[in-house]
Structure 1
Amino acid sequence: MVLKKQTVWLLTMLSLIVVLSAYYLMTPGQTTVDVAFVEDQEVSEGQQETGDSEDVVVNVVEEFETVDEAGEDIGTEVNSMSGSEFFATMRMELQENRDRMAEEYTKVRAASDVPADKVVEAHEKSMELLALSQQESMLETLIKTKGFNDVLVMSEGQEVKVIVQAEELTGAQTVEIMDMVTDQLGNGKSVVVSHE
């Protein structure tokens, strides 16, 4: 019964993704978008207080790449997307990747010939994936309260990518976002903050 509910839920979500994809592909007015990455670096207390942005290095790139756990590139070309389309596309790709992983974990848990320790491991990974999605969502909401129109948080292993919708991103804003990520997701992760 649980498997059928999960299947229905998955098919519903995939249908929603297809409809949204069609909508965004048919929406006129696509413009060019550049994504800038701020490199992760040590920031002294004095820089945090003054908001000194001279030491923050910004590199403009033409392609934003993400890699799933299997090492497959799920990147997307951002040159021909408007800001809202970029965020919607990246969210859909991230959700599709997470849905694929959740489905694999569900298959392992449902299989009768799988050892018990593998079933437990698949269940734990499934719960970690759910918790990670909730943490990312909460972090996006917290960052939006700082005045950004849209925010996307993607955590892949030990790296967290945060993309905010803004014309500019100051050094003080970057440090504040990095601190928020550390508070929510813990220390020891490499944080990349960029704006679109």
Structure 2
Amino acid sequence: MLKKQTVWLLTMLSLVVVLSVYYVTAPKNMNDSVAFMNDQTKTNSGKDKAKGTDVAVQETEAKDEKVTSSIASDDVFTALRLQIEDQRSRLRDQLNAVVASTSATAEQKSEAMDKIQQLEALAEKEATLETLIKSKGGYEDVLVRADGDTVRVTVKAKKSSKQAANEIIQLVKSELNDMQDIAVEFQPTK
């Protein structure tokens, strides 16, 4: 009986060691993107339920067998978020391909990793800003899009004011120090 327990214990310890080595050597972004995608899905479905809006997707087949879809909803923010996430996902995939490439130099791999980290940091700051602006201003929805040195903030609000726009600009400047061109757009709620 003692030998069986010893064998079992050694087997479990070796399994833990193997999994630890795999976890340490596995690409970091592979695990993050899967978790982020699931988190994004849960977040979006929760927002749709809370607002009571239905997003209907209509698919039609064209003559040349291509499937086209159109989103029928008054909430454009969700579609824009998905579009931004799709663009960043494609860029992240390209950068991950450079990192995994055997023909890329160490400098190219390092630059690609830096760009991946910048993308993740930017997405995190955008989400933080959206939450901060929503909570401070009491707005229905906020969309922050940062690209290069420009930031576009779209706010769904009942009324727009210069003072509210100025407060939003100050929040963006405090969170994203290096951004110079900040535009705030108010969309009326229905």
Instruction: Tell me, yes or no, whether TM beats 0.5.
Output: yes
Structure exhibiting the larger radius of gyration computed from Cα positions: 2
Structure 2: distance between partners of 1:12 and 1:158: 25
> Is the 2:95–2:112 Cα contact (8 Å) retained in structure 1?
yes
Q: Which residue of 2 aligns with 1:24?
A: 55
The reply on whether 1:137 has 2:137 as its aligned counterpart is: no
Deviation at 1:153, TM superposition (A): 0.4
Distance 1:5 1:133 in 2: 14
Q: Equivalent residue for 1:177?
A: 168
Q: 1:144-182 CA deviation, whole Å, 9 max, x = no partner?
A: 012101111000001100011112210000000000010
Q: Which residue of 2 aligns with 1:154?
A: 145
| Number of equivalenced pairs | 141
Question: 1:117 aligned to 2:107?
Answer: yes
Distance in 1 separating the partners of 2:117 and 2:157: 33
User: Residues 8 and 157 of structure 1: is their aligned pair in 2 closer, same or farther, counting only changes over 3 Å?
Assistant: closer
TM-fit CA distance, 1:5: 7.7
- What displacement does 1:25 show? 2.5
Asked whether the equivalents of residues 152 and 183 of structure 2 are also in contact (C-alpha less than 8 Å), the reply is: yes
Aligned to 1:13: 37
Matches of 1:12 and 1:188, distance apart in 2: 25
Once residues 104 and 187 of structure 1 are traced to their aligned partners in structure 2, the CA distance between those partners, rounded to angstroms, is 26
Q: Name which structure has the greater RCO, CA cutoff 8 Å, separation 6+.
A: 1
User: 1:186 corresponds to which residue?
Assistant: 177
Contact 2:150–2:179 (Cα < 8 Å) also in 1:
no
**How many angstroms apart in 2 are the aligned matches of 1:169 and 1:122?**
41
SS for the counterpart of 2:86 is helix
Aligned with residue 102 of structure 1, among 92, 102, 105: 92
Whether 2:118 is the aligned partner of 1:87: answer no
Shift of 1:116: 0.6
Q: Which runs of 5+ in 1 are unaligned?
A: 28-76
Structure 2 residue identity aligned to 1:107: A
* Match in the other structure for 1:56: none
The C-alpha deviation readout for 1:39-69, integer Å capped at 9, x for no partner, is xxxxxxxxxxxxxxxxxxxxxxxxxxxxxxx
1:10, 1:99 within 8 Å by CA — same for their partners in 2? no
Displacement, 1:6? 1.9
Does the residue aligned with 2:103 lie in a helix, a strand or coil? coil
Aligned-pair Cα RMSD in Å: 3.2
Aligned counterparts of 2:139 and 2:35: Cα–Cα separation in 1: 32
108 and 187 in structure 1: CA distance in 2 versus 1, 3 angstrom threshold: closer
TM-score normalised over the length of structure 2: 0.64
Aligned partner of 2:96: which letter? T
Alpha-carbon shift at residue 10 of structure 1 (Å): 5.1
* Aligned counterparts of 2:31 and 2:179: Cα–Cα separation in 1: 36
* Long gaps (5+) in structure 2: 1-21, 46-53, 59-69
- SS state at 1:165 partner: strand
